[in-house]
Amino acid sequence: MTGHSLLASSLGLLLSYRTNSAYARFWEGRGHWAGTKATCRNLAMMMKTHIGPSSPKATEKFMELLAAYPICLMHLCLGGAARLPEYASKLLPKTDMDYQDNPTWPGLLICTEMQKTLHEAERESKTAKWNLIESAHHSATAHMIDGLITKMANCEKILRTPVPWSYSRHTSRFLSLWIGTLPLALIGTVNKWLVLPITVAAGYAMLGIEEIGHLIEQPFMGDKQEGENSLFVSVDEDGEASDIITRGRKTQPYDIGIPVCSLAL
């Protein structure tokens, strides 16, 4: 029993670090989405109040592009597993590129179009050349668009950089070994009828903690939507929905991941 007691401390550290690192990824992803929503709202306010009066046509186009950006970010976070809705895809340049295989491109193209539209707004305005305050608003808007690209890069980092498999495998093997030999350590120290219940309870608790870490390691979730907001699901060659979409259909928002579809709409 002494050996198991000594190993339990090390195993507890492994499991706690595993879960904490996974939750840190979850909270980081949620923070990037909160920052994205704040930046989009600031951009909309800036365009409507400061740039719109002197450049109405460019502002209207800019607002359409801005509304499509969260959908493109959702597309990236789900790894291209969700199709882009029509109102977002029509704003993208015509190309033979498969956006499902290149989920980063829609967001980048939308940001590029926003920068071009901002330049058009400057040319449309009759006062931008001599009104320094208006020029400052144009410059601030351009910097906020750059911020949206930074948010994309941060979300992509989380998506494409999972916790190393070697760490996960070692934790799982260590846990399996500890639980498998626990009955041997308990025999002689507790009533023989209590060995099985204690082993089951300990296994349930330990394996549950490990599984939580695995579930929230990939924080982005395609949450279930109904009606007009239904998720545009892509399917594999065999006609089955991808794993991340299937998981999203069976769970509720914030059950095991960030509901990026609700945040994007």
Name the β-bridge partners of 259: 221
Q: In whole angstroms, what is the distance from residue 249 CA to residue 126 CA?
A: 51
Q: Taking the model in full, what pTM does it have? A: 0.79
Helix axes of 56-77 and 132-160: crossing angle, nearest 10 degrees: 10
Instruction: Identify residue 2 by its one-letter amino acid code.
Output: T
pLDDT tens for the chain, 265 residues long, are 566 777 777 777 778 887 888 888 888 988 999 999 999 999 999 999 988 888 899 999 999 999 999 988 988 888 777 777 788 888 887 777 666 677 888 889 999 999 999 999 888 888 877 788 888 888 999 999 999 999 999 998 888 887 777 877 888 888 888 888 888 888 878 888 888 888 888 888 888 888 877 777 778 876 655 555 455 444 555 555 555 555 555 555 456 677 777 777 7
Q: Which two tokens stand for residue 36?
A: 């994205």
Question: 76 and 83 in contact (C-beta within 8 Å)?
Answer: no
